[in-house]
């Protein structure tokens, strides 16, 4: 196994987009025939804009020429708080490792690269949404479950 971790560029947009679809299908337990065309299109636009603006970075993992996995982190700003005076935050997302490569430390290394990159940018608040399968990895790294955040269950589109 000769793994290469490399930062994604705009030339990787198609691979990033397809990986995003694969992650969402797995996380939401969707069948392969679920229509993801709208999500695919919006994900493509997201990557195109955010990679150019440097508000999202992604890493890709290859074993030779074989795609193994990916991970990304989005950077954004909220109003400053006592615990986060800059208001700068990071959100880890799209963590994925092909099934045959799981449980080999690949995702842990990817997570560490993303967290390190965020720290280098001065980020002091990093969060993520974990699936049941990913939760042990994130807990091992030091992420804890948040008790004070809430989300509106249904929000009517205007």
Range of the domain at 124: 3-141
Is residue 157 in a domain? no
d(CA 94, CA 21) in angstroms, rounded, equals 9
Q: What percentage of the chain has pLDDT greater than the value 70?
A: 97
pLDDT at 66 over 60: yes
The pTM of this model reads 0.89
Is residue 151 in a domain? no
- The pLDDT-based confidence of 152 (bands split at 50, 70, 90) is confident
d(CA 76, CA 92) in angstroms, rounded, equals 12
126-128, strands of its sheet edge to edge? 3-7, 56-63, 66-77, 88-97, 126-128
Is residue 147 in a domain? no
Q: What is the CATH number of the domain that holds 115?
A: 3.40.630.30
Residue-level pLDDT at 103: 92
Arithmetic mean of pLDDT, 139-145: 93
- The pLDDT-based confidence of 6 (bands split at 50, 70, 90) is very high
């Amino acid at each position: 196994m000769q793994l290469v971790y490399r930062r994604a560029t705009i030339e990787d947009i198609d691979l990033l987009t397809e990986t995003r679809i694969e992650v969402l299908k797995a996380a939401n337990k969707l069948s392969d025939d679920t229509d993801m065309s709208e999500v695919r299109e919006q994900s493509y636009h997201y990557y195109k804009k955010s990679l150019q603006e440097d508000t999202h970075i992604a890493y890709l993992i290859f074993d030779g020429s074989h795609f193994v996995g990916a991970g990304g982190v989005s950077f954004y700003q909220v109003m400053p708080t006592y615990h986060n005076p800059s208001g700068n935050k990071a959100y880890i997302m799209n963590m994925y490792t092909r099934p045959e490569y799981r449980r080999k430390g690949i995702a842990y290394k990817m997570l560490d690269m993303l967290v390190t990159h965020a720290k280098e940018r001065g980020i002091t608040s990093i969060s993520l949404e974990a699936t049941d399968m990913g939760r042990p990895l994130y807990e091992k790294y030091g992420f804890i479950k948040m008790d004070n955040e809430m989300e509106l269950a249904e929000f009517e589109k205007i």
